[in-house]
């Protein structure tokens, strides 16, 4: 039976390879950073499943590793990473054409199919996926299938996959971990009572019996918190605990599935507007060597506003049906 922890171990192997590659290049800060990330992923399963018998990696040690990663991140510098000559890359792109989009499309298509059919996928009497939420294992399997599809289309050796993956990871740098860290921050905020504080503030400012006012507070709050924290995953637990669950779902009978899905989409509009989402907005500007570091945000802003208004209207029409 496939569990997400199995893929965490596979990811840890890839991160360890990235660390070893940097160590060979004498990029010690990079090697230490990715090595610590690999350690956290590799021991994640043990931390989750061995709590009764004693954690393999105590929470204090994990905290020290995170602090060390933060220190190492200040020493990481974006440098030129060797890749194929431009003429070779252009020739390869012209030869492959639109087939290059195939592996990228495999990920969403395979994920949806596995989520829909996962309960029926078996080898003999053994289910491939555990009952319940299989979205993350489905995404992991789809990503592996996409890697194999890319190798088949480009006709390159299998080792090229981790090589190019490592190069891409190094190009993004420490910002690749921002979604994970910010999502964790959202959980910390929710556990520390920020959601309850938001609920008290909102009920003091807006009429809690008016579902439109509560809906606007939830949607605009998702955008605002995402702008502040840089990721909708960080804003979601706070806004759902503060407004979504007590006011919209429990008091006004909103549909939880529709509210959650559209709430996240509305939060993503804030991602398009903020430099805090460095991996989405600042890293591309640096990679493209743009003179204005906020050029990506400026280009996205009109789309973000239109999408935000559209999502707010969709929430009004769908969550109270």
Here the tokens at position 92 are 């390869």
Per-residue pLDDT at 56: 62
What are residue 253's DSSP bridge partners?
Answer: none
Better-predicted residue by pLDDT, 197 or 52: 197
Q: Is the predicted pLDDT of residue 98 greater than 90, yes or no?
A: no
Contact call for residues 69 and 33 (beta carbons, < 8 A):
yes
Closest to 168 in 3D by CA, of 156, 178, 160 = 160
Is pLDDT larger for residue 317 or for residue 208? 317
CA distances from residue 59 to 6, 16, 33, 51 in whole angstroms, order as listed: 21, 21, 18, 11
**pLDDT of 55 above 60:** no
C-beta separation of 107 from 139 below 8 A: yes
pLDDT of residue 7: 85
Under DSSP, is residue 2 helix (H, G, I), strand (E, B) or coil? strand
pLDDT at 46: 42
* pTM exceeding the 0.75 threshold for the entire prediction: no
pLDDT of residue 306: 95
Contact assessment for residue 75 and residue 111, using Cβ atoms and an 8 Å cutoff: no
pLDDT for res 268: 92
| Per-residue confidence (pLDDT) for residue 4, from 0 to 100 | 78
| Residue 203 to residue 190: CA distance in whole angstroms | 18
CA 301/CA 272 separation, integer angstroms: 7
Whether 283 has a pLDDT exceeding 70, the answer reads: yes
- Residue by residue, DSSP assigns 105-172 as HHHHHHHHHHHHHGGG-EETTEESB-SS--HHHHHHHHHHHHHHHHHHHHT--TTHHHHHHHHHHHHH
Apex CA 165: angle with CA 163 and CA 179, to 5°? Answer: 155
Task: State pLDDT tens for residues 298-320.
Answer: 999 999 999 999 999 999 999 98
Summarize pLDDT for 216-270 with one digit per residue, the tens.
Answer: 999 999 999 899 888 888 888 888 888 999 999 999 999 999 999 999 999 999 9
Answer yes or no: is pLDDT of 33 > 90: yes
The per-residue pLDDT for 314 is 93
Residues 6+ apart with CB under 8 A from 277: 178, 226, 230, 231, 271
pLDDT average, residue stretch 98-107: 87
The average confidence (pLDDT) of the chain is 83
Cα 303 from chain centre: 21
Residue 89 pLDDT > 50, yes or no? yes
Q: Residue 79: its pLDDT value, please? A: 66
Under 8 Å CB-to-CB from 164, ≥6 apart: which residues? none
Query: What phi and psi, each to the nearest 5 degrees, are found at residue 119?
Result: -65, -20
Closest CA to 227 of 180, 195, 275, 194: 275
* Across 88-98, average pLDDT: 77
């Amino acid at each position: 039976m496939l569990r997400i922890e199995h893929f965490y171990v596979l990811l840890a192997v890839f991160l360890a390879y990235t660390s070893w590659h940097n160590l060979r290049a004498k990029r010690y800060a990079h090697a230490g950073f990715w090595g610590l990330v690999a350690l956290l992923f590799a021991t994640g399963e043990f931390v989750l499943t061995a709590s009764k018998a004693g954690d393999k990696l105590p929470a204090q040690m994990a905290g020290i590793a995170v602090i060390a990663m933060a220190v190492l991140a200040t020493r990481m510098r974006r440098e030129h990473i060797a890749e194929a000559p431009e003429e070779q890359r252009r020739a390869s792109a012209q030869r492959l054409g639109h087939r290059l989009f195939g592996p990228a499309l495999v990920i969403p298509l395979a994920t949806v199919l596995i989520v829909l059919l996962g309960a029926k996928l078996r080898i003999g009497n053994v289910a491939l996926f555990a009952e319940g939420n299989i979205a993350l294992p489905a995404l992991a399997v789809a990503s592996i299938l996409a890697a194999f599809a890319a190798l088949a289309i480009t006709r390159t050796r299998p080792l090229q996959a981790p090589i190019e993956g490592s190069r891409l990871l190094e190009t993004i740098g420490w910002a690749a971990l921002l979604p994970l860290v910010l999502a964790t921050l959202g959980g910390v905020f929710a556990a520390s009572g920020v959601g309850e504080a938001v609920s008290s503030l909102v009920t003091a400012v807006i009429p809690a019996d008016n579902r439109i006012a509560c809906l606007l507070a939830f949607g605009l709050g998702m955008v605002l918190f995402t702008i502040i924290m840089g990721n909708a995953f960080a804003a979601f637990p706070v806004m759902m605990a503060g407004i979504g669950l007590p006011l919209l779902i429990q008091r006004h009978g909103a549909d939880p599935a529709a509210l959650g899905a559209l709430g996240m989409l509305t939060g993503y509009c804030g991602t398009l507007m903020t430099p805090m989402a460095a991996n989405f907005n600042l890293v591309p500007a640096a990679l493209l060597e743009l003179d204005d570091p906020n050029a990506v945000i400026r280009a996205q802003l009109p789309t973000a506003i239109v999408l935000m208004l559209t999502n707010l209207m969709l929430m009004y029409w769908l969550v109270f049906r």
